[in-house]
Structure 1
Amino acid sequence: MDLNPPPFSPFSHDGLSIAYFDEGDPSGEPVLLIHGFASSANVNWVFPGWLKTLGDAGYRVIAFDHRGHGASSKPHDPALYHPQSMAADAVALLDHLGIATANVMGYSMGARVTAFMALAHPHRVRTVIFGGLGIGMVTGVGDWDPIAGALLAPSLDDVTHERGRMFRAFAEQTKSDRLALAACISTSRDLLTAEDMGRIDIPALIGVGTKDDIAGSAQELADIMPHATAIDIPGRDHMLAVGDRVFKKAVLEFLTTFGHG
């Protein structure tokens, strides 16, 4: 299994077309991967080697492009981007594939969507893995309003906000629909309470880069969850932690322990 994009298929949910892939061992334990903001299934999961890593370990590997991202529909209405709606897309994909329960791993915004999925549909989620998002899930991840402005600016040259420039450049690099992303960033940051996180009583792994200035502490989030373990991803920032080998090793060990029925 290589790092080239696999074939994607569309399915319909909530009036939108959602693109997904279903790879690896069809009889293996399913792992559903949920990517981050302004990214895609390929950018978060294929190119950094997750599809290969999990596929080689015998898992059935499923991922989709969020609404507003990748090859999925890109509505410009902010009301369509609350994490509850994106979590419903994930559950609808499991329904479409006839999968009763899955291990679910999300990165950054995808970690938040994973948490909403686990709370709304606990019987569908065997384990959760949160990458790139720690206690920021509860306390917030800073002021992201400049990012919407950066996405809507006439050009990158007009953007002075450092994080805004980073995401605007990333969106241009991935040839994203900037209006859809600006709509998404305005409503996809709904917070969860500490009480909410405490209700996720399945095995959880939380991995955050030691140079990540967005995610917040992995350990602080683990401390308010009943069955969570935190790991540091050494020397990695928010953009680079996703494909790190320390993170991959920890995920494989976690899934070996908890990810099988």
Structure 2
Amino acid sequence: MPSFNNGDVEIAYLDQGEGEPIVLVHGFASTKNVNWIYPAWVSELTKAGRRVIALDNRGHGESAKLYDPAAYRIPIMAGDVAALMDHLKIERADIMGYSLGGRMTAWLARYQPQRLRSAIFGGIGIGLIEGGGPGENVADALEAASIDEVTDPVGRTFRAFADQTHSDRLALAACMRGSRGLMTREEAGGIAVPVLIAVGTMDEIAGSAEALGNIIPGSQVLDIPNRDHMRAVGDRVYKSGVLDFLAQRQ
């Protein structure tokens, strides 16, 4: 996979297809492959005539591993996305983020709106503002010597996922601690680009999509039926809803 450097941080990415660009930003402890290639997002979007760019967030996948939580603040991680667009000479794009990637996308939508044609927040609802979901329990689970020592159920889920993907657990723990900054209600209310909020109806991590939709002017809400946080990613309702949303702006 190709890579580039944002400052001294190497970021791996993929760039496939032709047409209007869409940038995909994966969730915590995931990778561009796990979040976007394996669930067939990249193939679906390229078939729909889109140029698809996806990165491994810092601390994840094939990108640089950092161990200072301060290196994972949301504006810094979102800056990697903007830097990748600069590297590829892409002035504006649709951007879709899932979970942590949704937080990064929201920051870009609020503070660099000129770079976005539209924003898709997958797996993140009112938790963008109110928090909740994984936190220090997950960081502790990632740092445990063995999964057998982890008793917290949410921590155990993320630890098992990190083990399955052969991730750098210490880098992920630093990311968890550094990326928990929330957006204020006023900041979210100032997002002016077209927004789609897509959350599984059984997702207890993201928070309510409707509640966030009531704050972001003109946003659309897509309920992904009977899916939790982990299983919503590849759902066909999610994919068809995103394709319909993107088609509205062609």
TM-score above 0.5, yes or no: yes
Give distance in 2, aligned partners of 1:251 and 1:183: 31
Give distance in 2, aligned partners of 1:39 and 1:65: 8
Are 2:20 and 1:20 equivalent residues in the alignment? no
Query: Which of 183, 186, 190 is the equivalent residue of 1:192?
Result: 183
Give distance in 2, aligned partners of 1:145 and 1:136: 16
Q: Look up the match of 2:123.
A: 132
**What are the equivalent positions in structure 2 for 1:46-195 lying under 5 Å apart?**
46-142=37-133, 144-195=135-186
Query: Which of 14, 18, 28 is the equivalent residue of 1:37?
Result: 28
Give distance in 2, aligned partners of 1:148 and 1:157: 15
1:67-86 deviations in Å (ceiling 9; x for gaps): 00000000111110001001
Give distance in 1, aligned partners of 2:107 and 2:31: 19
**What are the equivalent positions in structure 2 for 1:216-235 lying under 5 Å apart?**
216-235=207-226
User: Counterpart of 1:213 in structure 2: which amino acid?
Assistant: E
Structure 1 pair 22/215, CA: closer, same or farther in 2 (3 Å)? same
Superposed CA RMSD:
0.8
User: Counterpart of 1:124 in structure 2: which amino acid?
Assistant: R
Name the count of aligned residue pairs. Answer: 250
Contact 2:135/2:180, CA 8 A, preserved across alignment: no
Long gaps (5+) in structure 2: none
Tell me the SS of whatever aligns to 2:175. Answer: helix
1:51-72 deviations in Å (ceiling 9; x for gaps): 0110000000000000000000
Long gaps (5+) in structure 1: 1-7
**TM-score normalised by L of structure 2:** 0.99
Matched-pair identity in %? 54
Structure 1 pair 181/200, CA: closer, same or farther in 2 (3 Å)? same
User: Counterpart of 2:11 in structure 1: which amino acid?
Assistant: I
Q: Which moved more, 1:151-160 or 1:113-122?
A: 113-122
Give distance in 2, aligned partners of 1:72 and 1:143: 23
**TM-score normalised by L of structure 1:** 0.94
- 1:141 Cα shift? 1.9
- 1:143 Cα shift? 5.4
Structure 1 residue runs of 4 or more that deviate by more than 6 Å after TM superposition: none
Give distance in 1, aligned partners of 2:14 and 2:134: 33
User: Counterpart of 1:115 in structure 2: which amino acid?
Assistant: A
- 1:244 Cα shift? 0.3
User: Counterpart of 2:138 in structure 1: which amino acid?
Assistant: I
- 1:142 Cα shift? 3.6
